[in-house]
Structure 1
């Protein structure tokens, strides 16, 4: 077996950590099982991370980074919202489901919630909601004054709710219903 080093080893460790997390959950996640899955030893893990929490957070950030969702620019707010939710269905529904199913004890142990993990995954970048909202305002489709954090995040909050309730991708019909009956009337209403 070829000895892995550097980024090759790091990637293998993070992929193994994600696999352990999605199979065993946070409560069943152990450094010993991770080391065995990755074909290494626990001292190798401790040279990179101080504890289980850091490994889990790194694995989530890595899983998010390896499933990029490009923010579409279809030329319309409606088109952008539908396209981003459909792309998220294809690339990231497993991340949302994992946060629900496997991280309950992580949140209990760390005193954090999904919002902190979302911030970790964003890594300081603007969210898709912010980008889409800004573009729509620049095109004159919506009044920039309606772009409060709550209104611009609403379509994504409703999308996440659907995923968390079903643990499945959101149907195209449900996505269009969210956009057409709730979000567009809210964001495009006269001020």
Structure 2
């Protein structure tokens, strides 16, 4: 007898991981429990404990699942426009009182769990590699010198935003995002990357 692709196990995983995101949005990291996730997902808590065990493993799996989903790489026609689009997405996410809760909870979890830290690292490495495609296209168009490091340019674009969000607690907005993108682009054009 063969198992059906997807099947009950895939449905349970999908429901549980959706519940993790919903619970993080509603309660944050401190309020996330296996029991609440199980109730929201419509499964018995022993199912969640048996498969995931802890809240941090739930968060790590949810983050891995998100990493596997497709992210639309901006394509505005210019590197400046693409970098601004990437930075603006970060700013918009953290300016939104609901959307900011999940990434903040993931950062908190990563400080308390090696498994969540590894999942966060894999997630951002995958997103940076995807975003770096905008830099590779720009090099191909002649907008940047060939030695420009695509991933480093993406990091430099977003780093000031994450510094404000997680270190100083300053707000981020679209003007901040544009300034960050343009400063990173100026560094790349100067051959500093």
TM-score under structure 1 normalisation?
Answer: 0.73
> Structure 1: how far apart are the matches of 2:163 and 2:72?
21
> Structure 1: how far apart are the matches of 2:151 and 2:30?
33
Query: Which of these residues, 176, 179, 189, is aligned with residue 177 of structure 1?
Result: 179
Equivalent position SS for 1:161 = helix
Q: CA deviation at 1:98?
A: 3.2
TM-score under structure 2 normalisation?
Answer: 0.72
> Which segments of structure 1 move beyond 6 Å, counting only runs of 4 or more?
none
Equivalent position SS for 2:186 = helix
What is the match of residue 155 of structure 1? 157
> Structure 1: how far apart are the matches of 2:40 and 2:191?
57
> 7-16 or 43-52, which moves further after superposition?
43-52
> Structure 2: how far apart are the matches of 1:65 and 1:167?
31
Query: Which of these residues, 75, 79, 96, is aligned with residue 77 of structure 1?
Result: 79
Residue 26 of structure 1 contacts residue 103 of structure 1 at CA under 8 Å; is this kept in 2?
A: no
Structure 1 residues 137 and 96: alpha-carbon distance in aligned structure 2, compared to 1, 3 A threshold: farther
Structure 1 residues 69 and 86: alpha-carbon distance in aligned structure 2, compared to 1, 3 A threshold: farther
Residue 24 of structure 2 contacts residue 105 of structure 2 at CA under 8 Å; is this kept in 1?
A: no
> Structure 2: how far apart are the matches of 1:183 and 1:160?
14
Structure 2, unpaired ranges of 5+ = 1-6
Equivalent position SS for 2:51 = coil
Structure 1, unpaired ranges of 5+ = none
Count residues in correspondence: 182
Residue 97 of structure 1 contacts residue 167 of structure 1 at CA under 8 Å; is this kept in 2?
A: no
Query: Which of these residues, 14, 19, 22, is aligned with residue 16 of structure 1?
Result: 19
Q: Deviations over 1:83-137 (max 9, x none)?
A: 22334555x5466653435642x334324776x3443325857624421221111
Superposition map of 1:81-120 within 5 A: 81-89=83-91, 92-93=93-94, 97-101=101-105, 103-104=107-108, 106-111=109-114, 116-120=118-122
Structure 1 residues 17 and 86: alpha-carbon distance in aligned structure 2, compared to 1, 3 A threshold: same
Q: Deviations over 1:26-66 (max 9, x none)?
A: 34322222222222212221443243322111123335556
Residue 25 of structure 2 contacts residue 99 of structure 2 at CA under 8 Å; is this kept in 1?
A: no
Q: 2:48 matched to 1:45?
A: yes
